[in-house]
């Protein structure tokens, strides 16, 4: 991508044009129009193309409704993360919650978390729900790494 326009590359490879939709706040109130969901990423706060008071971040991207949810930094962060396809070294999920250090983003420092294995709808999917005293900046499809 010589010019950095990944949205254009997506349009070229899929043959589909980006469809404008609504920016909404976390309560669902329409704030304005966006250029198409392929132009935004979770956590983005610059180049949104909408003038709002205070800094707003992309908190969620909803392809089914073609909406981009904007919120404050506090609304972007979460104390819980739901992780699917967890790779348990022993081959099976632990029966009890356990404490460990974990991180979601490559450059994020490890944080103490309590991991609880929970039941998932699909029997072959392994899931875990870590919670932490710190807040996590999460993105869908992010990997969570357990530290020592």
Range name among 22-36, 42-56, 124-138 with the lowest pLDDT average: 124-138
Position with higher pLDDT, 76 vs 141: 76
Contact 146, 104 (CB under 8 A): no
Cα separation values, 33 from 68, 69, 118, 142, Å: 9, 11, 38, 27
Q: What is the pLDDT of residue 129?
A: 54
19: CB partners within 8 A, 6+ apart: 36, 66
3-state helix, strand, coil in the chain (%, to 5): 10, 35, 55
pLDDT (tens digit per residue) in 13-36: 999 899 999 999 999 999 999 999
Q: Residue holding tokens 């132009």?
A: 39
Q: Residue holding tokens 């590359």?
A: 9
Q: What is the pLDDT of residue 141?
A: 43
Instruction: Return the closest-CA partner of residue 132 out of 118, 113, 145, 117.
Output: 113
Say how far apart CA 136 and CA 119 lie, in whole Å.
22
């Amino acid at each position: 991508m010589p010019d950095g326009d990944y949205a254009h590359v997506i349009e070229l490879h899929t043959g589909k044009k980006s469809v404008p939709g609504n920016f909404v706040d976390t309560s669902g109130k329409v704030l304005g129009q966006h250029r198409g969901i392929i132009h935004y990423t979770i956590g983005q706060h610059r180049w949104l193309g909408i003038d709002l008071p205070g800094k707003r971040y992309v908190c969620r991207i909803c392809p089914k409704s073609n909406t981009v949810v904007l919120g404050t930094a506090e609304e972007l962060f979460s104390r819980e993360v739901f992780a699917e396809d967890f790779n348990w070294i022993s081959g099976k999920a632990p029966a009890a919650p356990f404490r460990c250090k974990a991180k979601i983003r490559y450059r994020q420092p490890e944080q103490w978390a309590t991991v609880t294995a929970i039941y998932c709808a699909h029997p072959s999917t392994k899931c875990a729900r870590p919670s932490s005293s710190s807040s996590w900046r999460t993105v869908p499809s992010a990997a969570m790494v357990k530290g020592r």
